[in-house]
Structure 1
Amino acid sequence: MLPFSQLSRSTSRRLAAALLVPATLAAIALPATLKSAEAQTAPGRALTLRSDVQEANAKTGVVTARGNVQITYPARQIQATSAQAQYFSRERRIVLSGNVYVLQQGNSLRGENITYLIDEGRFVALPQTSKQVESIYIVADPASTPATPPALANPPF
């Protein structure tokens, strides 16, 4: 067996990543909603969660991600970043906290705490104390869209 220092760069990275996974995560049985999400959902329906550290609790069904959290949910065109995220699999909600930024179909939402209710497709945003939540929406300008004339009751032809 080669010493760690003599392994190729990609092999050593994969090995280091594998060693960083806490033993407790490997030992617990994750809920069905968390096991192989890519395999259980139609292509493009998976919600991807990336972060520096992740913990999963099989008893409560809660996954906690901390540090540089990034979420992508292509099925609903959602991208989000935050300091921490908690996925409550039984309630089907995600609670993002710490400098949260959400982008969906060009619209954006910023706040200190944002909860996403998956089944409702609804965001609930709370600001930091004595601050505000910011939303930016893309609104179609009715003046820029051509008006269609109303249909005539008795067409002339």
Structure 2
Amino acid sequence: MMSLTSFRSSPIVRLGLGVAVPFVVLGAIASPTYPQTSGNPADSRALRVRSDIQEADSNTGIVTARGNVRINYPARNMQATATQAQYFSRERRIVLTGNAYVLQDNNSIRGEKITYLIDEGRFIAVPEANQQVESIYFVTDPEAPNASAGAPPATP
């Protein structure tokens, strides 16, 4: 599973969708000062989304963010960017589209469309036509030679 680091402080607008995972929408605010989170442990469970445009449908439980989307989900140590993101609260999944990128615990995945299944902690990435997805994972390997100690010298 991948994880992401926290985004900077941002303005917060809470949507009352009655979902199991708190969802926080960040939008543009005219004031140059941004409120800070309360330090409440529930704040770390919040899924924060910042984008140019956002809309929420309380009938379907779908929240859509479009344009310069940034997601911060501290509970899963995850950050993501995309052109569009949709949070399906009933299915507990997030679908990122348009140059989607996810960073979690220094591991990353990039594709045209990335689906994150929250309850499974699983990512599914799909590329653009005739392209590929890319993942970078940092693997702990005690058998691997240390770059400073066991690596052979570089040849000119």
TM-score normalised according to structure 1 size: 0.68
Equivalences for 1:16-95 in 2 at 5 Å?
30-33=16-19, 42-95=42-95
Task: State the aligned residue count.
Answer: 120
Quote the Cα distance in structure 1 between the aligned partners of 2:107 and 2:23.
30
What percentage of residue pairs aligned between the two structures are identical? 61
Equivalences for 1:133-148 in 2 at 5 Å?
133-143=133-143
5+ long unaligned stretches in structure 1: 1-16, 22-28, 146-157
8 Å CA contact retained: 1:95, 1:115: yes
Displacement of 1:111: 0.1
8 Å CA contact retained: 1:68, 1:83: yes
8 Å CA contact retained: 1:30, 1:57: no
Find the structure with the greater CA-based Rg: 1
Higher strand proportion? 2
Quote the Cα distance in structure 2 between the aligned partners of 1:86 and 1:30.
16
- Where does structure 1 differ by over 3 angstroms across 4 or more consecutive aligned residues? 34-41
Look up the match of 1:116: 116
TM-score normalised according to structure 2 size: 0.68
Displacement of 1:42: 2.0
After superposition, give the CA deviation of every residue in 1:46-86 in whole Å (9 maximum; x if it has no partner).
Answer: 11011000001111110000000000111111000000000
SS at match of 1:140: coil
- Label 1:61 to 1:81 Cα distance change in 2 as closer, same or farther (>3 A): same
- Label 1:101 to 1:93 Cα distance change in 2 as closer, same or farther (>3 A): same
Matched, 1:97 2:83: no
Look up the match of 1:3: none
Displacement of 1:139: 1.0
5+ long unaligned stretches in structure 2: 1-10, 25-36, 146-156
- Label 1:50 to 1:122 Cα distance change in 2 as closer, same or farther (>3 A): same
For the aligned residues, what is the CA RMSD? 2.8
Displacement of 1:141: 2.7
Displacement of 1:44: 1.1
8 Å CA contact retained: 2:23, 2:47: no
Quote the Cα distance in structure 1 between the aligned partners of 2:132 and 2:23.
38
SS at match of 1:42: helix
